[in-house]
Amino acid sequence: MIAVVQRVSHSSVKVDGSVVGSIGKGLNILLGVVEEDTQEDIAKLVNKIVKLRIFSDACGKMNLNIIDSGGAALVISQFTLAGDVKKGNRPSFTKAKEPKEAKQLYLEFIEALRQYIPVECGIFGASMEVEILNDGPVTFIIDSKRL
């Protein structure tokens, strides 16, 4: 799994002009599910995300994790994170997991994350408009295969 994790002041997602998910302070997580991903990848990624100390403490140092900061997460499916742009100019998505299986892992990721913090989400496979007010900016790309 590949996640783009952004510390945000607020973030929201619209489908067909209607807001389907919205958070204040917390994390915007763009999640890509790749061919070889399993529940083990979910566990590793969730564990890393909830423990990342990327929120400021009283002294202004990035010392708090999402749980300590009282934040929430907005999780958006984004299969383009599995895109390969090495060859030619048109991205290849052959490394992306088949949609039915990817959706199941996406939903399991959300449920695993909800064990720790409040989570809002987009709609898997929908065309979405995502509003992100990145705080910092603070952005990390986390690949479960590298944890």
Choose the catalytic residue: 6, 38, 39, 78.
78
Do 55 and 64 touch, CB atoms closer than 8 A? Answer: yes
pTM of the complete model beyond 0.85: yes
Question: For residues 19, 129, 44 and 67, what is the CA-based torsion angle, rounded to 10 degrees?
Answer: -50
Separation CA 41–CA 16 (nearest Å): 31
Choose the catalytic residue: 80, 94, 124, 140.
80
Q: What is the pLDDT of residues 99-121, one digit of tens each?
A: 999 999 999 999 999 999 999 99
Catalytic residue at 109? no
Choose the catalytic residue: 55, 79, 109, 124.
79
Strand pairing class (72-77; 55-56) = unpaired
Do 91 and 97 touch, CB atoms closer than 8 A? Answer: no
The full set of domains in the chain, from first to last, is: 2-146 (3.50.80.10)
The predicted pLDDT at position 10 comes to 98
